[in-house]
Amino acid sequence: MEVEKRLTTLIEQSLELETIELDLFRSKSLWKPTGARGVFGGQIIAQSLAAATKTVESNYKIHSLHSYFLLAGDSTTPIVYKVYKIRDGKSFCTRSVSAKQKGKTIFIMSCSFQTDENSVLEHQNVMPDVPPPENVKTDKEIFKQWLDNSEEHKIPKTYQDYLQIRIQEILPIEFKPIKESVPRDLIKPSKSNPKQYVWLRAQGRLPDDLAFHHCVAAYASDHFLLGTAQLPHVRLSMMATLDHMIWFHKPFRADEWLLFEMESTRSNSGRGLTFGRMFTRDGTLVLSCAQEGVMRAKTMTRKNKTESKL
């Protein structure tokens, strides 16, 4: 009798890799977000981590990764991930991953794994005091609320169509922004402090493998992060991630609610820098991350002003 195959969740499908040969893997699916220049960066980070994880013994767990985005990924072409075994030590092992499309390297990552180690030295940031996820609306509920009041907000048809797409879009991660000011006013964005909080969790029940939950959190960590650096500014003409770092602290489940606290400490020279922390509901800090990206403001020359009236 044939055993029925377990249906996988959306995030499992998003992170699934095909093994080509030893230490060489290929993506099976890629996602280009609405309005984005290329493949979602979080998916590339997570797939790279998944590839690296396949080359280490199960007693090693990821504790940090450092990555750089070099070129935008093409969602119509599979990404090939090559893992390099840099070092295998007693307590730590190191891997390097290069992601390629059409012969060009689009992304690189270095990651370090560690065996379990007990220590009496421990401290952490205190979890922010925010409403529990049960008392917070999802981003899609906020989008729908905006659409229902589109006349009051004077939202043009173009933006209404965009919001409708976002509502219908099926994503592997569920988000609940703490403030309903997220998303920002699409027509006349107002400046605000570069800090925000979002509850998040993967859709569906995930496997018990901690290494997979690390990959899921890596995927989710690319949502909202760079956008935090935009909050003190007017509408931007371009945002693109340059680098992304993650430090994993404690075990957790990515299919249970995590609070993502984000704060941007600086923007200058066309770049914005943001730091993030993820907490479990009991207040345990399980992940810290940092991201820097290109930020360019939309400017209007005298010629453009004239043309805009025509």
Which pair of tokens denotes residue 227?
Answer: 């956008």
Residue 51: helix, strand or coil by DSSP?
helix
Residue 78's Cβ-count burial label (10 Å; 0-12, 13-18, 19+) is: middle
**DSSP β-ladder status, 258-268 and 236-248:** unpaired
Residues 6+ away with beta carbon under 8 Å from 229 = 194, 264, 267, 272, 273, 274, 293, 295
Residue 173: helix, strand or coil by DSSP?
strand
Which pair of tokens denotes residue 239?
Answer: 């945002």
Pick the closest to residue 288 from 251, 261, 264 (CA basis). Answer: 261
Yes or no: say if 61 and 117 are a contact pair by the CB < 8 Å rule: no
Yes or no: say if 61 and 210 are a contact pair by the CB < 8 Å rule: yes
Which one of 9, 53, 222, 255 is the catalytic residue? 222
Please indicate whether residue 301 is annotated as part of the active site: no
Yes or no: say if 255 and 205 are a contact pair by the CB < 8 Å rule: yes
Distance of CA 121 to the CA centre of its chain: 30
Please indicate whether residue 306 is annotated as part of the active site: no
Q: Within 10 Å of residue 127's Cβ, how many Cβ atoms?
A: 17
Residue 308: helix, strand or coil by DSSP?
helix
Which one of 241, 255, 274, 280 is the catalytic residue? 241
Check residue 93 and give left, alpha or beta (phi > 0: left; psi -120 to 50: alpha). beta
Residue 304's Cβ-count burial label (10 Å; 0-12, 13-18, 19+) is: exposed
Q: Within 10 Å of residue 278's Cβ, how many Cβ atoms?
A: 26
Please indicate whether residue 222 is annotated as part of the active site: yes
Give the active site residues. Answer: 222, 241, 291
